């Protein structure tokens, strides 16, 4: 494999509500993303963003913040952040200075789709196919609150196993073909 064909393993954070689509069609830069109505909006259109291992926690936390701002029930709304591991050709990567500055880690984007065979999902215990999904309640805990009509609410827990993937790279079934 020459340098142009060399693959790089990176990570992408998204919401669990997107996993069926990702499992079928991969990551598509033309799909409207979570950041479109934020300060990242103009910067994010038409791009799939990736980070190195050091940036996972920063971006996971940002997605938790987005979930808290947009959803009263992340389980039902498909708003639980998840980590994907992807393989992309190095020659398709573009550096993302804004993402690197914010996360203090390597940040990149691609302008091309990433196929489902090049994507794995961290399910809290191991790397699986995105279509396998996750149990969103691994990331959440119920907080009783008599002041709330429902008697409480879901909040992200501090020991969330979805936020701390094993970053040792060992592709399912010996990897994408």
Q: Is residue 155 part of a domain?
A: no
The dihedral built from the CA positions of residue 87, 93, 96 and 100, taken in this order, carries a sign that is positive
Q: Is residue 83 part of a domain?
A: yes
The pLDDT tens digits of the residues spanning 1-12 come to 344 458 899 999
Q: Is residue 160 part of a domain?
A: no
Q: Is residue 143 part of a domain?
A: no
Q: Is residue 61 part of a domain?
A: yes
The pLDDT tens digits of the residues spanning 1-55 come to 344 458 899 999 999 999 999 999 999 997 766 555 555 556 667 899 999 999 9
pTM assigned to the model: 0.85
Q: What CATH number did the domain enclosing 94 receive?
A: 3.20.170
């Amino acid at each position: 494999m020459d340098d142009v064909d060399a693959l790089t393993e990176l990570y992408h954070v998204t919401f669990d509500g997107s996993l069926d689509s990702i499992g079928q069609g991969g990551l598509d830069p033309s799909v409207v993303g979570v950041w479109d109505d934020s300060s990242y909006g103009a910067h994010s259109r038409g791009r799939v963003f990736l980070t190195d291992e050091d940036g996972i926690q920063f971006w996971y936390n940002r997605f938790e913040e987005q979930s808290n701002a947009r959803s009263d029930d992340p389980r039902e709304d498909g708003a639980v952040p998840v980590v994907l591991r992807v393989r992309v050709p190095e020659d398709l990567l573009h550096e993302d200075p804004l993402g690197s500055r914010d996360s203090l880690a390597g940040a990149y984007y691609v302008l091309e789709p990433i196929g489902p065979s090049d994507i794995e999902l961290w399910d809290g215990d191991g790397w699986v196919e995105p279509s396998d999904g996750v149990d969103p309640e691994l990331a959440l805990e119920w907080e009783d609150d008599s002041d709330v009509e429902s008697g409480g609410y879901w909040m992200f827990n501090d020991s969330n196993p979805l936020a701390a993937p094993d970053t040792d790279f060992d592709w399912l079934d010996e990897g994408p073909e």
